[in-house]
C-alpha cells in the first residue's frame, strides 16, 4: 500500500525544482506576468495539447523539437503568440536564445491572439530570474489571465518500502474552457523515477476524466497545454500510486478552473449512467456541460429539466423517453416516463440550484456506460469580461 499526503510548495514541492514569477511589464500596475520552472536535472517530458487546428506558436515550437529533455520552462501571460506565423516561431527562438545555463528551453504563452510577443520586455524580464528561488505561488499568479485566483497543489506519495516521491502543479484557466483538451495551461513537476513512455500513457489516460471533462463556455483555445516534467531525483516510483496521485492533482485543478469560470457562480457535476457504453455517456455529459440553454438555466436557478431532456436527446446517442431518469441531487424529477415535477418538487430543486455545488444525474436506462463531466453557469459577468478582453 501507499499513502498520498497533501503538502505545500506547488511546482517546487518535488526535489530539484525551482520557480518564480516576476513582472516584465506585460500587465498593468506592475502585476506578475512572467514565470519560470527550472530543474537541477534534465527532465523527461509528457505532454497534451489543444485539439484546435490553429494551435499557437509555442506548441508548434515544442513539436518541432522532436524527442528531447529539458530543464527550463518559460511562461508568459497577456499574449498568446497565436496566429503569428513564422514570425511567432522566430520570436520564441530569439527569446530562448537569451536563456543561459539551461537545456532545450520550452516556452508557453497565454493571452490575446494575433499579437506579436513583446520580445524586449520578455528578454529583460528574464534577467530578473533567480534559479535558486522556490516561489511557486508567485509563478502560479504570474500565469493568470482572467483567473480570479491562482491554482496550485502538491502531494507527497509514501511507498511501503519507505521511499517517497512528490507531484506538484500549477494551472491557469477560467475562460475558453471546452472539453477538447480544455483551454488552459498546466505545469506538473515530479521527482518520481518514471519513464517517459509510462508517464505519457498515464497522462493521456488521466486527462480524459479531468481536463477533458470540464466546460465553462464551450470554446477551445489555441494554446491549451499540459506539461508533465520528471527529473527522477527521488529515485522512487510505483505505477498505481503515481496514477492515483496524478489524477488527484489534475482533478483538483480541473474543478478549480470550472469553479473560477468567468462570471461563474456554480460548479455542476453531470453524472451520466445507463448509457450504451462509456463513450456515449461521455458524449451526453459533455453536451450537457456545453449547452448554453442549460448554463443559463443554472444561472437563473431555474430547474427547467426539459432543457436537460432535450439536450440528452440532441446529443445523438441512443436514448429513449420511456427509459430516461433525471435528478437534481437526490430529487428525481422525471422517472422513465413518469413526471415527478409538481410545485413542491420545483421548490426543492430550485433550492438545490441555489447551492454553489450540486449534481445533475441522467440515467439513460440503456446499458452500463457511465461518465462524469463538470461545468458551470453562464451569466452577465461572462459577457462583461469577454466584451472587454483585449482592452
For residue 43, give the 3-state DSSP assignment: strand
H helices of 173-329, where? 196-208, 239-259, 278-290, 292-299, 305-314
Q: Which residues contact 219 (CB under 8 A, 6 or more apart)?
A: 175, 176, 177, 178, 183
Q: Which of these, 266, 337, 336, lies nearest to 303 by C-alpha position?
A: 266
Cα–Cα distance for residue pair 114/110, rounded to 1 Å: 12
Task: Judge contact between 376 and 298, C-beta under 8 A.
Answer: yes
Task: Judge contact between 206 and 73, C-beta under 8 A.
Answer: no
Task: Judge contact between 173 and 262, C-beta under 8 A.
Answer: no
What does 252-298 look like in DSSP terms, one character per residue?
HHHHHHHHT-TT---EEEEEEEEESSHHHHHHHHHHHHH-HHHHHHH
Neighbours of 200 (CB within 10 A): 17
Q: What CA dihedral angle connects 138, 143, 146 and 149, to 10 degrees? A: -30
Cα–Cα distance for residue pair 83/81, rounded to 1 Å: 7
Catalytic residues: 183
Cα–Cα distance for residue pair 297/1, rounded to 1 Å: 45
Kindly state the cell numbers that stand for 332.
428525481
Cα–Cα distance for residue pair 381/295, rounded to 1 Å: 13
Q: Which residues contact 263 (CB under 8 A, 6 or more apart)?
A: 378, 379, 380, 381, 382, 383, 384, 385
Cα–Cα distance for residue pair 338/360, rounded to 1 Å: 18
List, in sequence order, every residue forming a beta bridge with 135; answer none if it has no partner: none
Amino acid at each position: 500500500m501507499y499513502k498520498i499526503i497533501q503538502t505545500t510548495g506547488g511546482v517546487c514541492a518535488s526535489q530539484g525544482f525551482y520557480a518564480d514569477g516576476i513582472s516584465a511589464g506585460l500587465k498593468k500596475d506592475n502585476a506578475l506576468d512572467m514565470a519560470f520552472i527550472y530543474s537541477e536535472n534534465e527532465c523527461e517530458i509528457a505532454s497534451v495539447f489543444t485539439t484546435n487546428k490553429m494551435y499557437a506558436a509555442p506548441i508548434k515550437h515544442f513539436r518541432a523539437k522532436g524527442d528531447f529533455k529539458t530543464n527550463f520552462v518559460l511562461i508568459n501571460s497577456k499574449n498568446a503568440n497565436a496566429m503569428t506565423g513564422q514570425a511567432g516561431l522566430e520570436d520564441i527562438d530569439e527569446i530562448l536564445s537569451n536563456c543561459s545555463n539551461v537545456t532545450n528551453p520550452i516556452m508557453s504563452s497565454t493571452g490575446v491572439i494575433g499579437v506579436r510577443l513583446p520580445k524586449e520586455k520578455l528578454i529583460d524580464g528574464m534577467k530578473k530570474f533567480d534559479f535558486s528561488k522556490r516561489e511557486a505561488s508567485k509563478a502560479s499568479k504570474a500565469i493568470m489571465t482572467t483567473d480570479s485566483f491562482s491554482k496550485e497543489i502538491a502531494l507527497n506519495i509514501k511507498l511501503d518500502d519507505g521511499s517517497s516521491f512528490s507531484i506538484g502543479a500549477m494551472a491557469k484557466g477560467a475562460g475558453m474552457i471546452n472539453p477538447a483538451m480544455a483551454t488552459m495551461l498546466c505545469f506538473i513537476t515530479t521527482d518520481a523515477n518514471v519513464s517517459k513512455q509510462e508517464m505519457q500513457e498515464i497522462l493521456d489516460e488521466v486527462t480524459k476524466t479531468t481536463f477533458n471533462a470540464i466546460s465553462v463556455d464551450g470554446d477551445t483555445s489555441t494554446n491549451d497545454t499540459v506539461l508533465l516534467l520528471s527529473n527522477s531525483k527521488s529515485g522512487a516510483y510505483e505505477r498505481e500510486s503515481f496514477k492515483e496521485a496524478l489524477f488527484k492533482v489534475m482533478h483538483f485543478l480541473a474543478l478549480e478552473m470550472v469553479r473560477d469560470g468567468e462570471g461563474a457562480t456554480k460548479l455542476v457535476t453531470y453524472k451520466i449512467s445507463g448509457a450504451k457504453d462509456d463513450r456515449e455517456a461521455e458524449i451526453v455529459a459533455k453536451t450537457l456541460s456545453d449547452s448554453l440553454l442549460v448554463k443559463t438555466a443554472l444561472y437563473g436557478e431555474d430547474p427547467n429539466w426539459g432543457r436537460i431532456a432535450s439536450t440528452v436527446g440532441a446529443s445523438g446517442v441512443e436514448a429513449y423517453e420511456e427509459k430516461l431518469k433525471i435528478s437534481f441531487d437526490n430529487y428525481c424529477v422525471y422517472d422513465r416516463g413518469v413526471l415527478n415535477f409538481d410545485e413542491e418538487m420545483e421548490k426543492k430543486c430550485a433550492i438545490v440550484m441555489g447551492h454553489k455545488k450540486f449534481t445533475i444525474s441522467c440515467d439513460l436506462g440503456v446499458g452500463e456506460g457511465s461518465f462524469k463531466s463538470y461545468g458551470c453557469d453562464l451569466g452577465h459577468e461572462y459577457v462583461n469580461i469577454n466584451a472587454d478582453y483585449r482592452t
